[in-house]
Structure 1
Amino acid sequence: MKDHSVKIALLKTLSDGAFYSGEALGISLGISRAAISKHIKGIQEWGVDIFRIQGKGYQLAKPMNLLNEVYLKQRIHNPLYLYPVIDSTNQFLMDRTDSLESGTVCLAEYQENGRGRRGRQWYSPFGSNLYLSMYWNLEAGIAGAMGLSLVAGIAVIDALESLGISGVKLKWPNDLYFNDKKLAGILVEMSGQAGGSASLIVGMGMNLSMQVGNSEIIDQPWSCLSDVLDGESVDRNKLAVEIISCWNNALEEYEFKGMSSFVARWNQLDNFIDRSVKLLIGKREICGIDKGIDSRGAIILETEQGIESYIGGEISLRKNDL
């Protein structure tokens, strides 16, 4: 793993939003102004908006609310890993399932290879969003994990509402939406053998205050939590604590009661309920009216053929603009 300690030290200093000269930064870190300039360019490659004004120095476009390991560990009981830079929070946990305690959490400020559903890249600029994964050992096995991304999504909205944040909806099977734009994505990955327990990794990436200019690679309409809050920001540490707590509660309830106890809540939060949609299954396209989910977590569509339900790893739901 590369040594990013200088870049992290620079970001901690700059995180208050004030100006710092290259000379002062160099003295504090024991390196040259030229080295500071080089590290600043590396930080900018992480998607961080830093500018320099002659005579004043470097400044972040806005203050940065960094994750605080001490704060987090004081407020949750889950084993926790926090990394400034990581390949992928999901992958970190997947590589260690044999030695992890159920409920172990991994957070990061920046993912070099964050991923979404079906191997898509998840854009992960440093310190702008929330990248969070949890390992869970499900005794019911892989067959019992159907609908888990739906449960995780409900829990995230419960966490937001506990912080007074409303208006966020769910899109089947694994996204959170605001004003018909993607706010967050959930990725559930699992391993295990028939007849045994399943090792589950529940991961989430949520856009909090991402800059428009830094997100050209995103291939769909997106929103940030700052949009939900009319430009205000949320404390990333408080948000992480609430999501971890709500995931704990939801996953425990899911183990004991299954999907059925979450159906009514999901249908209340469904962004596309009673709206015209199209469902893509491979090359197949199915049009209908979204009628929510059933007790298995399958999407229910009212089509020309009548009421039909669909479920499967390669299904995605998109708004039908016809």
Structure 2
Amino acid sequence: MLAAFYVTYFVFASFSFNVAQQQQQPLQYVDGYRSSCKFHQAGTFNLIISAPHGGSLMPTDVPDRTQGGCRRSGSYCTWRYDDKCFDGQRCTATTVQDYLSGEFAENVAEELNSKHGLKPFVVIGKWSRKKVDFNREINEATLNHPEAISAYQSYHTNLQYAIDQVKQQYGNGLLIDIHGQGVGNFTMVGYLLDSDLLNRDDLQSTLGTITSIEQICSLSNRTECIRGQTSFGTILETNELGIAYPSMAHPKPGNGTFFEGGYITRNYILKINAIQTELPYDIRAGPYKRVNAMKYARALIDYMTVNTILLKNSKSTM
């Protein structure tokens, strides 16, 4: 498999060099509902980039989610912006921004376009997470405020449209959900396997838990798929993007905080392969963020190529 990969890589690199000599038009974005998000739907290959948590816009007529939800005796949390919760206890809503994760996603998309002649589908959040969380189920995400609901639906309608286009045009593809984290200087690659499962020696023992890349994992054993040579974590490291968990060199995340994938990763896996990446500050926002975006774009191409899922249409110049 590796020999075939490097032959493919050489051919791909040659194509990419030729594309780099051509002038590529920048990706054109359209704003969603009240500029809550922006999207590019004229994709020319089967990759979708999502970045829900980098937004900073704060519409004044939408209440902050910082109040959280309400848990009453013997019940789960309910989420309403107008609930005073006098007879219950507050549930915490996460509102921290993944600083510059949206810009990083946009830079990755532009690298794919300008350097490789590949236009991904893209959906990027613009509203602050204090107003709406595009990576939660709708009640927690919006506190059931009508304007927040409309913003949320705008993001997910466009994400669903992109998935439908990929399914219709290519049959399968990859949804990459880009986030930022401040836990440590490493990347967490989320396939819906938590740290307890990833810390096992043999990942075949985790087959009772579905991953977010079942279509890809069906082509090899799970250990290879999740932390082997063809895994996304290993390919990120090969492209000099620092430490990634899980990967061949760093197979187990240990006992620290690990984000295995959120609502977006979990919600769409019946239609498309999905991976969440939690990037450290230095990768997404440090002084070499543009270089890192270039490397991340290269890693996506390498990953999709070695796992034989990269498909493009005639509009691609690669």
Q: TM-score, normalised by structure 2?
A: 0.26
Q: Who wins on radius of gyration, i.e. which is larger?
A: 1
User: Which is strand-richer, 1 or 2?
Assistant: 1
User: Which is helix-richer, 1 or 2?
Assistant: 2
1 or 2 for the larger relative contact order (CA 8 Å, sep ≥6)?
Answer: 2
